[in-house]
């Protein structure tokens, strides 16, 4: 597992982890969060918040209240019980995972603010990427969050005014809050193999269609040279990091929440 650290602003750093196993990453994330909590309680120190950009080795994770019945078949992929919210999901190569290690009280954010910022950052980036479609299909497709089910979903315009048809889910969320500090975060499917989701009810929703960005916008394959208009995994990652950093700095305000 390799990692690099980058200073994004005075109070935010990013840390990139490649080919990361889940349990050591979770242990490190929890240890860092507990250390930050202790520094704040004992010394009143505000430590920089952290974004962990993670490329996970294949794993299924089951949230704190996760139900085993949402695992439809056992495969060779490990199943790890974890302490985030939500049900079961998959992480692996071609999926962008970003963990938000934020001091919510210092930011003045509620848990609802955190979730909304996460969803809206993903919406912004997906909708920006969709300006460069993967096909000649002229159907207008856009990304939106839902009040009734955390995450970000793709919708296609229909012939009925203001009516949109949900195509499926492209990004999942699951956070844990401890003494006002968040950890865990978001997972966005870029160019991963979606067949891993066939073994589960993703996030506890039977029949939920999971989507990936590369089916809706031109994205490079790993072996490709940087050519033409096709987006790379790294470019999409940087777009999302930039958006989150602006929100963290107060430069992007929350929009009104999605209707129920």
Residues known to be catalytic: 203
- To which residue do tokens 């918040």 refer? 49
Check whether 33 is labelled as a binding-site residue: no
The residue among 119, 215, 209, 126 whose CA lies nearest residue 168 is 209
Check whether 87 is labelled as a binding-site residue: yes
Check whether 66 is labelled as a binding-site residue: no
Strands 59-62 and 79-81: parallel
Structure tokens at 49: 């918040």
Asked whether the beta carbons of 49 and 33 are under 8 A apart, the reply is no
Check whether 185 is labelled as a binding-site residue: yes
Check whether 187 is labelled as a binding-site residue: yes
Check whether 174 is labelled as a binding-site residue: yes
Contacts made by residues 154-163, CB under 8 angstroms, sequence distance 24+: 154/126, 154/211, 154/216
Q: Is 66 helix (H, G, I), strand (E, B) or coil?
A: coil
Check whether 56 is labelled as a binding-site residue: no
Check whether 91 is labelled as a binding-site residue: yes
Which residues line the annotated binding site for substrate? 84-91, 172-174, 185-187
Which residues line the annotated binding site? 84-91, 172-174, 185-187
């Amino acid at each position: 597992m390799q990692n690099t650290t980058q200073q994004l602003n005075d109070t935010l750093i990013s840390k990139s982890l490649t080919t990361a196993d889940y349990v050591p990453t979770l242990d490190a994330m929890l240890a860092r969060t507990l250390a930050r909590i202790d520094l704040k309680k004992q010394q009143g120190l505000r430590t920089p918040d952290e974004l962990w950009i993670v490329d996970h080795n294949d794993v299924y994770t089951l949230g704190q209240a996760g139900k085993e019945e949402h695992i439809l078949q056992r495969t060779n992929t490990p199943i790890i019980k974890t302490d985030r919210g939500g049900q079961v999901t998959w992480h692996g190569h071609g999926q962008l995972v970003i963990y938000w290690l934020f001091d919510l009280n210092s930011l003045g954010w509620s848990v609802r603010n955190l979730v909304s910022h996460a969803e809206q950052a993903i919406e912004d980036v997906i909708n920006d990427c969709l300006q460069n479609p993967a096909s000649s299909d002229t159907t207008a497709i856009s990304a939106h969050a839902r009040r009734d089910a955390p995450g970000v979903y793709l919708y296609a315009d229909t012939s009925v005014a203001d009516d949109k048809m949900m195509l499926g889910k492209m990004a999942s969320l699951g956070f844990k809050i401890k003494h006002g500090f968040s950890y865990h975060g978001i997972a966005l499917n870029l160019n991963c193999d979606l067949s891993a989701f066939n073994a589960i009810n993703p996030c506890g929703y039977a029949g939920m269609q999971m989507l990936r960005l590369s089916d809706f916008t031109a994205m490079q394959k790993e072996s490709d040279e940087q050519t033409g208009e096709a987006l790379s995994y790294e470019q999409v990652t940087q777009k999302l990091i930039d958006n989150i950093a602006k929100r963290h700095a107060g430069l992007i305000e929350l929009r009104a929440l999605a209707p129920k």
